[in-house]
Structure 1
């Protein structure tokens, strides 16, 4: 009964915040019903939350609240860990839509990612690819979608202008690819999964990577450009160039210590893209099953470190970890990069 009373009090608090538009919750005023854990949390100081309520789901406000109050808002409203995000335009996929977001504080990127509702997993495409990047590689007059097409089903996305206008921000745009049957190498990545690309290369340059008979349906001249070796100091630690260059994509550098290259099945990994001897994109790659397992509670929300090169060719803000999360209070997923540091110093 005591716990129920506390939750009710907290619900009233959340509603009061929403109605009054309060931007700072007095701290550390805690109701008598607060638990020992709540009292201990309050001693750590206020935290940022992006306040979103059911009656105004498109209105977001950054508030500073005591930690115990943040827990209430994150459980009982559509609020999320702050600061509030800026968003890119959505693109339909399945029964939902994917869109980019960025959280910025004090002129520094906090989080850059892609978010989409759980409904996106309903009625996803089932064909191998959308047919946009194909080439008759064997010259037999027909195109086999399983061996002569690449890219799955792609959704190009603009990053928020608030992010791309930041000084020393190398990220330019994003791309989501859904691969209903996966792709090669056989036995490694041939399971349904998503590719979440964050490009340092312009979209015009990426679009100019032609289809052709070399590599993964890529033009042979563009294959040669894509596979130009990076200088050793620019190659991320433990990554290897396997010559996996693809039309409308470029080369893919693979972390050979990632579990799927050993004895474990592929669940998630991080890929670097390269073109013309330069890093061209950063890519979390995640199976559909792994993400569904997060929503079901069998897989955890968590982050992984991103291995870095010794030196970035273009100085600027780069993420140190990537995260995969399901936000139950919002019914959505986030695939993000965070903990940015500025290599320019």
Structure 2
């Protein structure tokens, strides 16, 4: 029997992950202790795979990210969504995949064991979404892009946010819960609630100083996810064009700041910047959280 191509893809990705430091962005200089890298299990994506990774210096996170292996940006799904989160909003008995499904194509990713064991890490799992047609608001995020979620809640809690006719196909009671305002000390500067609450996800607080809100094409941004007046995920959003541009990009422009609240609800390590890189040695693209500070 010929080998299963999906199995071969995962095996190739596992072999690639085992090459360690050469396959990932060089860790920022740390005098001591030595930086070590751990990997999550890859899942097939396009003609490659996606996996998480963490770089640790002792008990301090240096980088937490998602890597897309060589070929992962090719052969991606072209349908608007994978059909996991749909709702017959117009009641006609059929589902329009463009208007009545949300979430694009989901790829749940397990975080490396080394991170899940790390004292003070608030992160529970990662979720990569591929949106071939983008999503709303119109003329803002309607470009092909990846949503890279790092969750602070469990996957079961995320999945319990039900479909319905409100917001972005979310149950109306859950919409009300999702849009409960954050207390002021937990709201980062320049972030606003535009009512972008979504099934199986929660609300999305956006930085209205971002270029995409001022007549420029979307390239990347950072989103705070909220549910029931709590921050539930940290989300770099990266356009497909921006990932490809990283192949020839200026290294000085790889990272952008993560605007901080004045306090965090849950103690632990939180990033002060996020980065998008390409590694020509391995052909990988990475989207990472970096420059961590610990908050009590």
User: What residue is the counterpart of 2:46 in the other structure?
Assistant: 94
Residue 98 of structure 2 is aligned to residue 146 of structure 1: yes
**Contact 1:273/1:282, CA 8 A, preserved across alignment:** yes
Residue 80 of structure 2 is aligned to residue 135 of structure 1: no
* Alpha-carbon distance between aligned partners in 1 of 2:159 and 2:259, rounded to the nearest angstrom: 27
* Alpha-carbon distance between aligned partners in 1 of 2:24 and 2:174, rounded to the nearest angstrom: 46
Superposition pairs of residues 108-187 of structure 1, within 5 angstroms: 108-187=60-139
The 1:299–1:212 alpha-carbon spacing in structure 2 relative to 1, beyond 3 Å, is: farther
Residues 53-109 of structure 1: CA distance to partner in whole angstroms, max 9, x if unpaired? Answer: xxx9665577xxxxxxxxxxx6xxx57524331111111110011110000111111
User: What is the alpha-carbon root mean square deviation over aligned residues?
Assistant: 1.6
User: What residue is the counterpart of 2:26 in the other structure?
Assistant: 81
Q: CA deviation at 1:263?
A: 2.4
* Alpha-carbon distance between aligned partners in 2 of 1:281 and 1:289, rounded to the nearest angstrom: 24
1:218 to 163, 170, 180: 170
* Alpha-carbon distance between aligned partners in 2 of 1:151 and 1:170, rounded to the nearest angstrom: 24
Q: CA deviation at 1:298?
A: 5.2
* Alpha-carbon distance between aligned partners in 2 of 1:183 and 1:256, rounded to the nearest angstrom: 17
Tell me, which stretches of 5 or more residues in structure 2 are unaligned?
A: 1-14, 28-34
**Contact 1:129/1:149, CA 8 A, preserved across alignment:** yes
User: What residue is the counterpart of 1:234 in the other structure?
Assistant: 186
SS in structure 2 at match of 1:326: strand
Superposition pairs of residues 326-345 of structure 1, within 5 angstroms: 326-344=278-296
**Contact 1:194/1:288, CA 8 A, preserved across alignment:** yes
SS in structure 2 at match of 1:121: coil
Residues 142-199 of structure 1: CA distance to partner in whole angstroms, max 9, x if unpaired? Answer: 1111111100000011111111111111111000000000001111100100000000
Q: CA deviation at 1:306?
A: 0.1
* Alpha-carbon distance between aligned partners in 2 of 1:281 and 1:101, rounded to the nearest angstrom: 17
Q: CA deviation at 1:139?
A: 0.8
The 1:190–1:86 alpha-carbon spacing in structure 2 relative to 1, beyond 3 Å, is: same
Which protein has greater RCO, CA pairs closer than 8 Å, 6+ apart?
2
Residue 252 of structure 2 is aligned to residue 307 of structure 1: no
* Alpha-carbon distance between aligned partners in 2 of 1:269 and 1:80, rounded to the nearest angstrom: 20
Tell me, which stretches of 5 or more residues in structure 1 are unaligned?
A: 1-55, 63-73
* Alpha-carbon distance between aligned partners in 2 of 1:205 and 1:255, rounded to the nearest angstrom: 25
TM-score between both structures, scaled by the size of structure 1: 0.76
Larger-gyration structure (1/2): 1
